[in-house]
Amino acid sequence: MNKLIQKLWKMRGGVHPTFHKEESTRLPIKQLKIPPQLIIPLHQSTSDASNLIVAVGDKVLKGQALTKLGANTKDALIHAPSSGVITDIKEHALPHPSGMSGLSMFIETDGKDQWLELNETNDEDRTSGSILKKIESAGIVGLGGAAFPSTVKLSAAAQQNIHTLIINAAECEPYISCDDVLIRERAHEIVRGIDILVGLLQVKRCLVGVEDNKPDAIQALHKAIADVSSERNASPAKQNRQAVIEVIVVPTQYPSGDARQLTHLLTGVEIPKGVHAVTSGILCHNIATAYAVYEAVELGKPLLSRIVTFTGDGLVQPQNVEALIGTPISFIIDQIGGYSAKAERMLMGGPMMGFALPSDELPISKASNCILVSSVEQLQLATTTQQPADKQVMPCIRCNQCAQVCPVNLLPQQLYWHTRAHDFDKVIEHQLADCIECGACSYVCPSYIPLVDYFRFAKTEIKSQKEAALKAERSRERFEFNAIRKERIKLARDEKRRKHKEALQKKKQEEAELASSGDGASKTGTENKTIDSVKAAKQDAIKAAMERAKAKKIARQASQKKDNNQDAV
């Protein structure tokens, strides 16, 4: 199986929680009914209201673009997931860790699910530029959770010498199984999407990383790769894609699904924080993104839906569903059997890195990969090595377990102490920015300290302080510029006054010199006579003009009188 890779590198740290994947993989992907209303957040990447090309009252078709690309290069287009009418565009709560609201579009669906005309790709239309344009027009983003526009990533890769494409199918977070079932049921389409990316990037090798707890998915991938390879060999237009797609089975360990950790596992290359992997000639994409690329390029379909895992003991029937973007969570839960008596908490994402949701009226977004509905007891079991009954935050005992499991080689204990002391300079020195917030340290902590919560707080405070310092620096620059401007204006005003004063003095001096000489007096007298004659000429001209005006007035009155007499006769 591993012809190009001689060894599998070992990931530092990590933990082995109970993964609970089997609960949601017993059933095939469920196709849902069209919801009566879709709530589509306009901030799924970096789009804003200024990019809207539709308005309230407009009728839209499935697949129709609702936004346009703006000046921000990190925008991703948003499309109508189904046909209907736009009923409102207003603020609505977002499925986001901040809990904030954002501008959202409300579409009342008509139940027809009527498509906009799709443009499938023919073999002649497969240049790099046209493929990138199709991916951009489809609004594809990274479906592993980051929701970063794929075109931006691929365009940046085009400027580098990319030799390795990594497809992330590890899916290491407990409870989440959307990628697993997607591979099982649509492996052929996924591999064709990978094949498109291979041809686009012209890479020498492609590695698909899958954890060893997904045997059905691994088998499906091997079969699909063999089938697509046969198709490629039979098509002269595709024979230039000679990169071998390899399925690499990695040990089940959290957080092996992090892009940097998986890159190290498969290639041995460690990507430093703040440095993009493309500078090392490596590009990583989620396997669900590869499927979206297939649909966009081969079928002309934009990204309108995604596979989402609904799981936890708070649901009657955990399973994976294909949900339209904008579908309210409550509608989906009703479609799959509803809540159980144990439903107490709702998270978006897994128990390690997910965040709590305040309501089930929030919509599914492009970044939604899992909705975990569970009891408090199950959630506590999923996030700690100890029994829930014993879970009570206690003082740190300096056991160093957190440092042993940190996959990025940090010292969580030191970060914790400096964060508690609000010594953020020390926190920065200890490389808090490298923390991927995987939660492994919190998972093993025998004192039940929510370390990741402290680190998120520290990151927020550091960011706030940087923003405050930046604002203060800008204010200082504005103040100094204003002071310089005022000084420049004052100097210019003083210079103008000085020149005016010099001119007056010079004039007075010239007049004094003229007055002191006889010729000057004679000249002055001649000038006075000339002025008098000019004034007299002006007065004569004015009198003549007045006489002419008076004569015209008399003539006009006489003419009017004559006309009146004729009318009387």
Sign for the CA dihedral angle at 40, 43, 47, 48 comes to positive
Instruction: Pick the closest to residue 57 from 101, 105, 102 (CA basis).
Output: 105
The answer on 556 and 430 residing in a single domain is: no
Looking at residue 569, what is its pLDDT?
A: 53
Q: Which of 303, 325, 356 is the last residue of a domain?
A: 356
Assign 3-state DSSP to the chain and report helix, strand, coil percentages, each to 5: 45, 15, 40
**What is the H or E stretch that residue 39 is in?**
strand 37-41
| Buried/exposed 382-417: b ≥16 CB within 10 Å, e otherwise | bbbebeeeeeeeeebeeeebbbebbbbebbbbebbb
Report yes or no on 326 lying in a domain.
Answer: yes
Report yes or no on 17 lying in a domain.
Answer: no
| Tokens coding 212 | 């060893």
Q: How far apart are CA 494 and CA 476, in angstroms?
A: 27
Can you name the residues that pair with 345 across neighbouring β-strands? 374
Q: How far apart are CA 554 and CA 101, in angstroms?
A: 81
Average predicted confidence (pLDDT) for the chain: 88
Report yes or no on 310 lying in a domain.
Answer: yes
| CATH number of the domain encompassing residue 153 | 3.40.50.11540
The answer on 509 and 534 residing in a single domain is: no
Looking at residue 529, what is its pLDDT?
A: 61
| Tokens coding 514 | 């003229």
The answer on 412 and 303 residing in a single domain is: no
The answer on 241 and 197 residing in a single domain is: yes
The answer on 263 and 233 residing in a single domain is: yes
Report yes or no on 73 lying in a domain.
Answer: no
Q: Which of 356, 378, 408 is the last residue of a domain?
A: 356
Domain count, the chain: 3
Report yes or no on 121 lying in a domain.
Answer: no
The answer on 345 and 256 residing in a single domain is: yes
Q: How far apart are CA 332 and CA 37, in angstroms?
A: 12
Q: How far apart are CA 191 and CA 201, in angstroms?
A: 15
Q: How far apart are CA 128 and CA 124, in angstroms?
A: 12
Report yes or no on 101 lying in a domain.
Answer: no
**By the 8 A CB rule, do 86 and 107 touch?**
yes
Can you name the residues that pair with 207 across neighbouring β-strands? 166, 246
Does the N-terminal peptide bond of residue 255 adopt cis geometry, omega within 30 degrees of 0? yes
The answer on 352 and 438 residing in a single domain is: no
| Tokens coding 486 | 């005022």
Order of strands, sheet of 319-324, starting from the edge strand that comes earlier in the sequence:
30-31, 319-324, 305-311, 370-374, 345-348, 355-356
The boundaries of the domain holding residue 545 are: 530-561
Q: How far apart are CA 451 and CA 458, in angstroms?
A: 11
The answer on 344 and 220 residing in a single domain is: yes
Burial class (CB in 10 A: 0-12, 13-18, 19+), 60: buried
**Residue 440 CA from chain centroid, whole number:** 27
Q: Which of 356, 376, 407 is the last residue of a domain?
A: 356
Positions of the chain with pLDDT lower than 50, given as ranges:
1-6, 46-47
Q: What is the pLDDT of residues 148-204, one digit of tens each?
A: 899 988 988 877 889 999 999 999 999 999 999 999 999 999 999 999 999 999 998
Looking at residue 4, what is its pLDDT?
A: 45
The answer on 510 and 538 residing in a single domain is: no
Report yes or no on 278 lying in a domain.
Answer: yes
Q: What is the pLDDT of residues 396-407, one digit of tens each?
A: 999 999 999 999
Report yes or no on 92 lying in a domain.
Answer: no
Q: How far apart are CA 326 and CA 79, in angstroms?
A: 10
| Tokens coding 437 | 């917030």
The answer for residues whose C-beta is within 8 angstroms of residue 56's C-beta and 6 or more apart is: 86, 87, 88, 89
The answer on 546 and 470 residing in a single domain is: no
Looking at residue 49, what is its pLDDT?
A: 55
The answer on 544 and 469 residing in a single domain is: no
The answer on 466 and 540 residing in a single domain is: no
In this structure, what DSSP letter does residue 9 have? P
| Buried/exposed 489-523: b ≥16 CB within 10 Å, e otherwise | eeeeeeeeeeeeeeeeeeeeeeeeeeeeeeeeeee
DSSP notation for 367-386: T--EEEEE-HHHHHHHT-SS
